[in-house]
Chains A and B, each alone.
Chain A
Amino acid sequence: AQKITQTQPGMFVQEKEAVTLDCTYDTSDPSYGLFWYKQPSSGEMIFLIYQGSYDQQNATEGRYSLNFQKARKSANLVISASQLGDSAMYFCAMREGQGGNQFYFGTGTSLTVIP
């Protein structure tokens, strides 16, 4: 089974609107961390936000927030007030507590912000 599933290959959003990128994960480890990365066309991966499995509150970093629903095993990324520079690939990733430092990545979602 896939550790990380991103079911939206491509998404479009109007500039200044909010958008949610979906991510579900699969693990039996009670300790894990969830990460979101952005990859612009230049290719470099940029860390956006982190959520730990024991964190009580949803993580937020500026315009990025993580909608963490533990029972559903989902960790959706919400981008508020989209900007043209947000157009990129977005990857969800997980690291398990018992798995050393190995990250599992999803296949990504391509986001296009429309002016």
Chain B
Amino acid sequence: KAGVTQTPRYLIKTRGQQVTLSCSPISGHRSVSWYQQTPGQGLQFLFEYFSETQRNKGNFPGRFSGRQFSNSRSEMNVSTLELGDSALYLCASSLGLAGYGSDEQFFGPGTRLTVL
């Protein structure tokens, strides 16, 4: 079974630009979550999509948005990029069985975004 894939793997943008990242989950997984990882900050939760609906949202500004398609693939968009948006963006998929249970998240390799 293929794992979670993310494209592109690396991206360099300048301030003020916008960027779209893509995530393809494991086949059969309906939940896709996005995280921002910066040195010393751990993983900051951005949002989770399940069956094309945003089910959970972290504490990020509205410049960060996402969507999920009927085939469970998800995209994340960041508009008006700032220097502080430079980070590793990780996507994780799971069956989406909300709440208690061992439905672990499987992570993709990440997209490393550099904002100049």
Contacts and interface: CB of A to CB of B under 8 A. Distances in A.
Given A33-B101, A50-B102, A97-B100, A103 B110 contact: no
Interface string A42-74: 111111001011100000000000000000000
Chain A contact patch, size range: 20 to 34
Nearest to B103: A101
Contacts of B68: none
Contacts of A25: none
A26 to B, nearest CB: 15
A100 B55 contact: yes
Chain B contact patch, size range: 20 to 34
Interface string A72-115: 00000000000000000001000111111111111110000000
B64 interface: no
Contact of B56 (A50, A100, A105): A100
B55 to A, nearest CB: 5
Interface in B12-58: 31, 33, 35, 40-43, 45, 48, 50, 55-56, 58
Interface of A: 31-33, 35, 37, 42-47, 50, 52-54, 91, 95-108
- Which A-B residue pairs are the 8 nearest by beta carbons? A45-B107, A31-B100, A107-B42, A97-B100, A105-B43, A102-B56, A97-B99, A50-B102
